[in-house]
């Protein structure tokens, strides 16, 4: 929805196109004064987009992308999926055999350009179009070109700054940190997001 707010055509996908359209109608109804280029469709329709953002529950992430691996070939696929569960009263991270969901998605889509991003966006402010969220978005990808393209997409959203956080190995820490941020927000009744100090984006990251 944030990308629709800056004029980019967005397709919301679901296993059932009708369910996606219900979500679109709810979002458009929430912001009646905005012209949002949002549409709903099934996952096959969403997979035909130029850039695909994976935002499913972690349990269904791999089965979803594997089903559309052919349609996603050559495309930028951004995973914002976190493997989290509740342990008693606390939210804790789960570590998949691959180390992270992002790495698992990359293995399932060997012919796609997979990046991880947007893991730490608090749900409330992330959905508020009237008050842009001030946050840094850590981006991880195996190639510098994929990371650069993803950072550029992040930077198109008001208030957000994309930062190249290295290869997909960084996704282990990035995804796990989400549980900590959730706990902080729960304890302080806040909507905190990540912001790193002392980082200048005027020059390119050092070569790895």
Which residues span the domain enclosing 57? 50-188
- pLDDT tens-digit series, residues 108-167: 999 999 999 999 999 888 888 888 889 999 999 999 999 999 999 999 999 999 999 999
User: Domain for residue 156, yes or no?
Assistant: yes
Q: Is residue 14 part of a domain?
A: no
Confirm whether 1 is domain-assigned. Answer: no
| pLDDT at position 130 | 86
Q: Name the residue with tokens 């997909």.
A: 168
Residue 12: phi, psi to the nearest 5?
-95, 120
Pairing between β-strand 113-116 and β-strand 90-93 as defined by DSSP bridges: unpaired
Residue 208 lies in a domain: no
Reported as a pLDDT band with limits 50, 70 and 90, residue 206 is low
Domain annotation covers residue 7: no
| pLDDT 10s digits, 187-200 | 999 999 999 999 98
Number of structural domains found in the chain:
1
The answer to whether position 132 is within a domain reads: yes
Look at residue 2 and tell me if it is in a domain. no
49-to-12, 74, 77, 108 alpha-carbon distances in Å: 10, 12, 10, 19
> What is the domain-level CATH number for residue 179?
3.40.50.720
Mean pLDDT of the chain: 94
Average pLDDT for 161-186:
97
What is 71-99 written as a DSSP string? TTTTSEEEE----EEEETTEEEE---TTS
CB contact burial 118-132 (16+ within 10 A = b; e otherwise) = bbbbbeebbebbeee
């Amino acid at each position: 929805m944030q990308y629709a707010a800056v004029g980019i055509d967005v397709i919301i996908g679901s296993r059932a196109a009708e369910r996606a359209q219900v979500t679109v109608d709810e979002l458009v109804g929430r912001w009646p004064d905005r012209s949002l280029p949002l549409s709903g469709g099934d996952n096959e329709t969403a997979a035909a987009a130029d850039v695909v953002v994976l935002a499913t529950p972690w349990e269904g992430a791999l089965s979803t992308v594997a089903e559309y691996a052919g349609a996603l070939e050559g495309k930028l696929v951004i995973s914002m999926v976190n493997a989290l569960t509740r342990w008693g009263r606390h939210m804790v991270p789960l570590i998949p055999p691959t180390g992270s969901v992002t790495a698992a998605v990359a293995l399932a889509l060997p012919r796609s350009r997979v990046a991880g991003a947007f893991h730490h966006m608090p749900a409330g402010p992330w959905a508020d179009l009237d008050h842009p969220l001030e946050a840094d978005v850590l981006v991880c990808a195996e190639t510098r070109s994929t990371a650069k393209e993803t950072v550029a997409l992040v930077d198109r959203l008001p208030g957000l700054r994309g930062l190249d956080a290295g290869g997909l190995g960084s996704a282990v820490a990035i995804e796990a940190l989400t549980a900590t941020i959730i706990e902080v927000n729960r304890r302080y009744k806040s909507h905190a997001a990540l912001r790193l100090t002392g980082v200048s984006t005027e020059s390119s990251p050092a070569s790895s």
